[in-house]
Amino acid sequence: MSVRVAMSAGSSVSVRTIFPRSITLLTAETARSSPHHLKIKKILNELGLLSAESQGLKHSITTFDKLVESDHKIYLAIDPEENDDDGEVVGFLKLGEKRLFVTDGSEPAWPANIQCVLDFYICAKYQRHGWGRHLFEHAIENEDIEPWNMAYDRPSEKLINFLAKYYRLTDVVEQPNRYVMYRDYFINTSVKYVQGR
């Protein structure tokens, strides 16, 4: 299933009009102030439902209302050529900073501010065609962050495979929370932690 809300009957606004670029960064401010905020709301809510459904979650963790009440960032991708160049929504990646208690497995957990992947969804017809990587790469470049430097909120098997395939992240360090973190985080940041504690 793909997201076509903005293309629904009676609507003269195309996906490309709402999102002129192939990847758009949505924040509370940009989403709220957009002249197309009602359409963006429908799209985000629908995407959130599709994401929850595909991950077997009871409730949507991504909605327009949640975005505008947070400092989260949503990177939203479109396929500009689909629907006779009117465009179609491909998927989204939601990032946000969290204060987590983390551990490298050898010491008691300590608090750290960490950039987290909170939700990630590519519409079914676009999956396994490189769109997820394209979107993820764009976001981490824009945020100037490395995949090992992030925590992943209850990652699905697909995301676990994705991170192993593209970023060689395989060595999971168990955490006292629902987030998944990789050994590289503790190796690459160990000096900082020793100094900061």
| Residues near ligand ACO (CB under 6 A) | 51, 54-55, 117, 119-122, 127-133, 152-153, 155-156, 158-159, 161-162, 165
Nearer to ligand ACO, 8 or 161 (CB): 161
Nearer to ligand ACO, 79 or 184 (CB): 79
- Integer-rounded Cα Rg, in Å, for the chain is 18
Nearer to ligand ACO, 24 or 51 (CB): 51
Minimum distance from residue 58 beta carbon to ligand ACO (Å): 15
Shortest-Cβ-distance residue relative to ligand ACO? 132
Q: The tokens 């973190």 sit on which residue?
A: 181
- Cβ-contact 61, 36 below 8 angstroms: no
Minimum distance from residue 64 beta carbon to ligand ACO (Å): 18
Nearer to ligand ACO, 64 or 121 (CB): 121
Minimum distance from residue 110 beta carbon to ligand ACO (Å): 23
Minimum distance from residue 104 beta carbon to ligand ACO (Å): 21
